[in-house]
Amino acid sequence: MARIISNTSPLIALSKIHQLHLLWELYDQVFISEAVYQEIMASADEQSSGKAEVDQAVQDKNINIYKVQDQLLVNSLYGKLHKGELETIVGGRELNADFVLIDEKAARQTAKNFFLTIIGSIGILRIAKREGKIEYVKPYMDFLIAEGYRISQPIYHMVLEAEKEL
């Protein structure tokens, strides 16, 4: 049974491209921490990316909210990363999650230090393509870049080459 726990920005990215559903289509259990849920719900703008989609997914039980037990560890690391990132990492460890969905570089490095298996938004799209759930990765990456999402040129080209979309 494959489990994944997600940080905030991948949820927003996948919502922007209308592909949040890929998480529960690709994984048996999808989790977000309480802090991640609060970060998304805190937006004053009802139309902000991810808010309605994540709330609906939680209501439909496609996404489970996880209460991180080791708040002492979260608090001891606070300042280096945001609370949502820290709860995602600590929650991933507590849940023995198969994957931790994080896009930010510093948070990814911290997750690696905890020996967690990291995947990013682009990785989700690549798996979805292999599983036949989407046809191409490039249009989604291009849209995210146009929306201000940072994807480095080396990563962009590596993904397009690997996916034979050049």
H helices of 34-82, where? Answer: 34-41, 51-59, 71-77
> Which pTM does this prediction carry?
0.94
Beta bridge partners of 6: 32, 101
Instruction: Report yes or no: 142 and 160 within 8 Å, Cβ to Cβ.
Output: no
3 state SS of 96: coil
Residue-by-residue pLDDT tens, the chain, 166 positions: 799 999 999 999 999 999 999 999 999 999 999 999 999 998 766 556 789 999 999 999 999 999 999 999 999 998 889 999 999 999 999 999 999 999 999 999 999 999 999 999 999 999 999 999 999 999 999 999 999 999 999 999 999 999 999 8
Domain ranges of the chain: 3-122, 132-162
Domain 3-122 top-level CATH class: alpha beta
Residue 80 has what pLDDT?
Answer: 82
Give how far Cα 128 sits from Cα of 56, 92, 125, 133, 135, Å.
21, 22, 5, 5, 9
H helices of 100-152, where? Answer: 105-113, 121-130, 138-146
Secondary structure of the chain: what % helix, strand, coil (to 5)? 55, 10, 35
Q: Which of 5, 75, 84 is nearest to 39 (CA)?
A: 84
3 state SS of 5: strand
Amino acid identity of residue 78, one-letter, is Y
